[in-house]
Amino acid sequence: MTFEPKIVGFLCNWCSYSGADLAGTSRIHYAPNVRVIRVMCSARIDPTFVIKALADGADGVLVCGCHPGDCHYSEGNYKTMRRMPLLKRMLADFGIEEERVRLEWVSASEGMRFADIVDDMTERLRALGPSPVKMALAGDAVER
């Protein structure tokens, strides 16, 4: 059986979730690997959420928000823009590969773009293999 990555997707209500909805209503076929969680704004996505998803066994985390300048709350997505690069560096220090966390801007009209992003991320994670986090923590229990 081939490995099927589990991706947790945090999508902002105003643009990206609508974009994903458009992908659905347009009947675009894309990888079923993403589990979508709707949040009111990408700025609501505390880095803790991303880390928790990885610690609980997600193979990847996709964060989507409105394009810069388009935020429903004026500047929520800029907060996300500042957090994600530092979060990626932090995760790298824990040995977590860069491809596992991805930030993309998806507008309400970009159903096709959302589908392409999910397909591409799924493909990359399939090549990368399962997340090592859960395995590592289970290994610690065996050691002692």
Partner 1 sequence: MATDKLQIALYWGAACGGCDVAVLDTDEFILDVAAAADIRLWPIAVDGKYADVEAMEDGELDLTIYNGAVRNSENEHIAKLLRAKSKLLVAFGSCAHIGGIPGLANLTSRDEILTTAYLENPSLERGSKTLPLPESGVNGSTLTIPSFYRRVYKLDDIVPVDYYVPGCPPAFDQVKAVLQAVVAGELPAPGSVVGASERALCDDCPRVKSEKRIKHFYRPWQIMADPDACLLEQGILCAGPVTRGGCGARCPSSSIPCRGCYGPLDGVVDMGAKLLSAVVSVIDSTDPEEIERIIDGLPDFTGFAYRFSAPSSLLQRSVRQ
Residue 95 CA to residue 91 CA, distance in Å, equals: 7
Nearer to partner 1, 24 or 139 (CB): 139
Q: CB of residue 142 vs partner 1: minimum separation in angstroms?
A: 10
What is the smallest separation between the CB atom of 7 and partner 1, expressed in angstroms?
A: 18
3-state secondary structure of 63: strand
- Taking each helix axis from N to C end, the angle separating 16-25 and 111-128, rounded to the nearest 10 degrees, works out to 90
Residues contributing to the site for partner 1 (CB under 8 A): 46-48, 50-52, 54-55, 68, 75, 78-79, 81-83, 85-87, 89-90, 93-96, 132-133, 135-137, 139-140, 143-144
In the complex, the smallest distance separating the C-beta of residue 20 from partner 1, rounded to whole angstroms, is 23
